[in-house]
Amino acid sequence: MSDYKLTRDDLERAARMVYQTLGPTPQFAWPLLGAELNADVWVKHENFTPTGAFKVRGGLVYFHELLAAGPRPAGVISATRGNHGQSVGYAARKNKVAATIVVPHGNSLEKNAAMRALGVELIEHGTDFQESREYAARLAIERGLHMIPAFHPHIVRGVATYALELLRGVPDLATVYVPIGQGSGISGMIAARDALGLKTEIVGVVSAHAPAYKLSFESRKAVEHAVTTELADGMACRVPDAAALDIIWRGAARVLEVTDAEVAAAMRLYFSATHSTAEGAGAAPLAAALQERARNGGKRIAVVLTGGNVDRDVFARVLA
């Protein structure tokens, strides 16, 4: 059995690991969103975690399995645009393990500050996530650190717990929209949908300014593409992950792309309709659902608000 094909027991075990530290996040149906989309629209609020994003679930499960397997690492290292790094930092601090995080130059100032507040050593290197990831891998060898990837079976199993909560909490969902960064979020949703034996359609969402996963999905081969998004840093992927692609090819109905302008409009709609703060990647599923308003008329759908970690000055510009 593939490491990424999960059973209900796998998901329940992961949920128990997560719930040792944090509780389930809510899913709400917001009337103003329903009116805007002419559908029964449910939001999975992963912006309500201690790190403000869904990734913390994967970090908790990854560390649980890492320390159970032994021996205890001297330290861990990873690369991020922010939410994965906060996940690693949060779980590392909980387990008293030193953590180093590499981010690209020009990364979110507030995400950087949040990671430092969790006690990580923050290193800025490279112009994008891929260069940061390659540098982190070199540092792992030089310093004797355990390298935590952005995509891994333990991480997918952890983040799949948000999907388990949503799919159990809201029956008969026709479609769920999920953003794609490195692919753990949508892979977890596909794994949970399949484990529960549901027919819910899963739609991936990428930035039109970082379309590697959409191009790869359509061509059925890995396609690298430059990243130019200025708003959806959580989806700023240049090189897709092969294992994630296999899951997405198998389990996603389609992959849509949304522009920064559409993402900004969705961020504004989230604030006016729900008073929720959504970062770019977190608002992308709503932007995609707005594209498919006609297709979804009268149906029950869900959008995953994966995170709310947007810098204050960026959010102010979007709202203005």
Report pLDDT for 193.
Answer: 98
Of the residues 147, 163, 190, which one is the last residue of a structural domain?
147
- The domain in which residue 87 lies consists of 56-147
Residues sharing a CB contact under 8 Å with residue 261, sequence separation 6 or more, in sequence order: none
Q: What secondary structure letter does DSSP report for 48?
A: G
* Pair 149, 275: CB distance under 8 Å: no
- Residue 40 and residue 102 in one domain: no
* Lateral strand order in the sheet of 121-124: 121-124, 99-103, 76-79, 146-147
Q: What is the pTM of this model?
A: 0.95
Element (H, E) at 194: helix 184-195
Report the pLDDT value the prediction gives residue 277, as an integer from 0 to 100: 97
Residues 285 and 219 in one domain: yes
Number of domains in the chain: 2
Domain endpoint, select from 120, 147, 174? 147
pLDDT tens by residue, the chain, 320 residues: 378 899 999 999 999 999 999 999 999 999 999 999 999 999 999 999 999 999 999 999 999 999 999 899 999 999 998 899 999 999 999 999 999 999 999 999 999 999 999 999 999 999 998 999 999 999 999 999 999 999 999 999 999 999 999 999 999 999 999 999 999 999 999 999 999 999 999 999 999 999 999 999 999 999 999 999 999 999 998 999 999 999 999 999 999 999 999 999 999 999 999 999 999 999 999 999 999 999 999 999 999 999 999 999 999 999 99
> CA 218, CA 152: separation in Å to the nearest integer?
23
Amino acid 166: pLDDT: 98
CA distances from 127 to 106, 131, 175, 196 (A): 8, 7, 35, 41
Asked whether residue 181 falls in the same domain as residue 49, the answer is yes
Closest CA to 303 of 290, 318, 316, 317: 290
Domain end call among 147, 182, 209: 147
Instruction: Say if residue 276 is in the same domain as residue 235.
Output: yes
Torsion of CA 121, 126, 130, 134, to 10 degrees: -70
Which CATH number is 108's domain given?
A: 3.40.50.1100
Same-domain check for residues 165 and 143: no
Same domain, residue pair 85 and 142: yes
| Single-letter residue type at 92 | A
In-domain check, residue 71: yes
Q: Same structural domain for residues 25 and 131?
A: no
Q: What pLDDT shows up at residue 1?
A: 39
Assess if residue 3 is contained within a domain.
no
DSSP E strand boundaries for the chain: 27-29, 40-45, 76-79, 99-103, 121-124, 146-147, 175-179, 201-207, 254-258, 300-305
Q: Are residues 259 and 201 in the same domain?
A: yes
**Alpha carbon distance 244, 264 (integer Å):** 27
257 and 167 belong to one structural domain = yes
